[in-house]
Amino acid sequence: MHIRKLPLLIAALAFVAAPAIAQELTGTLKKVKDTGTITIGYRDASIPFSYLDENQKPIGYAMDICYKVVDAVKAKLNMPNIKVALNPVTSSTRIPLMANGTIDLECGSTTNNAERKKQVDFGMTYFVIKYRWVSKASDHMDTIDSLKGQTVVSTAGTTDIKALNELNTSRNMGMTVLSANDHPAAFLMVETGRAKAFLMDDILLSGLVANSKNPKEFHISKDSLGLEPYSLMLRRDDPEFKKVVDDEMTKLYKSGEIEKIYHKWFLSKIPPKGINLDVPISDALKKVFANPTDSPDPKVYE
């Protein structure tokens, strides 16, 4: 090659390479690199997924998984000193705060369904729940029919309250459906007799009952209104960031490390009261750990 053509070749290669480098930094990854911070949305009372300990620090199963994702982001960007900002969210605010860029990753008890995927995206499923209700044990409300004509509460902004309203209409149940701002407020309504039952994800009900003053006073129904998958929530149309999330979660599952995290939160004593929820890994979740999926279709988990 003629030596005078060398600078032209170098310039051409630089021009070709530049777009490839730029493509690696889009969406959330670019935002994190530019700001040096990743913002996690957390729940204050979604035991044992994301809740506050005695020091008002968010902890839980979802938080542990999120911090693994944060480590993967640090490695991807070669930025070990990325700061983690913690932003509280509720059932009603979590999707808007994700969509408007306030939070980058939501670590809680959020159901992945087709309707929500029109607004946000999700990582690999990390839990599978069933919609059940808690009531006073003395009321013997185990079946769907036992809800007829009763005052039933659920939490605003959840898929549960939507399922409750659909049940009320489709089967002419004659229920009075109430909405609470958060899970503890809804549970308190059952505790104080303002509502006969509280419809919510079964694992969250287990946490509320276990941490109540008198757990034996309450009963979680055998009947359910169906099942749904939980996962970490992230922004839509952000394939680079989603790949980091999915790759890290798949690594956790395939290595077996997820089972240690699961055991820590569901089969061991947890803060703040040292209660063991004693919830073994379900068959549906075992399937997910063996073959990771982010599907919002409940049939995949049956």
Q: How many CB atoms lie within 10 A of CB 106?
A: 28
Q: Quick one: what percent of the chain has pLDDT higher than 70?
A: 92
Residues 6+ apart with CB under 8 A from 209: 134, 215, 218, 220
In the CATH scheme, what architecture does the domain 9-126+231-301 have?
Answer: 3-Layer(aba) Sandwich (3.40)
| Mean pLDDT across 221-229 | 95
What is the mean pLDDT of the segment spanning 134-160?
97
Q: Residues 125-139: pLDDT tens digits? A: 999 999 999 999 999
pLDDT for the residue 5: 52
State pTM to two decimals. 0.87
What pLDDT is stored for residue 21 in this prediction?
43
pLDDT, average across residues 152-162? 96
The architecture that CATH gives domain 129-227 is: 3-Layer(aba) Sandwich (3.40)
Query: 186, 180, 187, 181: which is closest to 211 by C-alpha?
Result: 187
| pLDDT band, very low/low/confident/very high, at 289 (cuts 50, 70, 90) | very high
pLDDT(8) > 70: no
Residue 279 has pLDDT above 80, yes or no: yes
Band (pLDDT 50/70/90 cuts) for residue 274 is very high
The CATH 3.40.190.10 portion of the chain extends over 9-126+231-301, 129-227
- Give the model confidence (pLDDT) of 58-93 as tens digits: 999 999 999 999 999 999 999 999 999 999 999 999
Q: How far apart are CA 60 and CA 234, in angstroms?
A: 18
Of the candidates 228, 231, 227, which has an alpha carbon nearest to the alpha carbon of residue 250? 231
Residues 172-183 have a mean pLDDT of 97
Name the percent of the chain lying above pLDDT 90.
91
Radius of gyration, CA atoms only, the chain: 22
Residue pair 32/72 in contact (Cβ under 8 Å)? The answer is: no
pLDDT at 219 over 50: yes
Averaged pLDDT score across all residues of the chain: 93
pLDDT bin (cut points 50, 70, 90) of residue 2 is low
Mean pLDDT of 50-56: 96
**pLDDT over threshold 80, residue 153:** yes
pLDDT in tens, 15-51: 444 444 445 689 999 999 999 999 999 999 999 999 9
Contact 41, 47 (CB under 8 A): no
- Mean pLDDT confidence for 84-106: 97
The average pLDDT across 227-249 equals: 97
